Amino acid sequence: MEHFCGTLDRVEEENFDFILANIYGDILIDVAKDLASRAADNAPLLLSGVLYEYNFDVRQAYKRLGFEEKKNYMLDEFSTVLLQKK
C-alpha cells in the first residue's frame, strides 16, 4: 500500500485497488473522470470531506462514470460517500 499526497497530474500509475479522496465536493466533481480512470474494476472509492450541499452532485457525477453507490454517510455539515467501480 502506498500513500500519495498531491495532484492527480503527478500520478502515473493506474488501476488502483482502492482510492480515498478527502477533499471538497466541487473538486471531487472536477477530478471525477481522472479518478474514475485510475480505479481498477470493482475498486472501492471513498470520498470524504464532501459538504452537505455537494453530496448529491458528487454521487451523481461518479454514478455517471460507472460507479455504484454503496453507502452515504451524512454528518453535521460534511458527508462521506462509498462507491464501487462496476
Q: What share of the chain is helix, strand, coil (3-state, %, to 5)?
A: 35, 35, 30
Strands 44-51 and 19-22: parallel
Q: What is the pLDDT of residues 21-42, one digit of tens each?
A: 999 999 999 999 999 999 999 9
**pLDDT, tens digit, 9 for 90 and up, residues 37-56:** 999 999 999 999 999 999 99
Q: Rounded to whole angstroms, how far apart are CA atoms 65 and 68?
A: 9
- Note the pLDDT of residue 5: 77
Q: How confident is the model at residue 14 (pLDDT cuts 50, 70, 90)?
A: confident
Asked if residue 62 belongs to a domain, the reply is: yes
Residues 11 and 76: their CA atoms lie apart, in Å, by 32
Mean pLDDT of the chain: 93
In a domain, 6, yes or no: no
- Residue 2 included in any domain: no
Residue 56's domain comprises: 15-70
- pLDDT score of 51: 96
Please count the structural domains in the chain: 1
Q: How far apart (Å, rounded) are the C-alpha atoms in residues 37 and 49?
A: 21
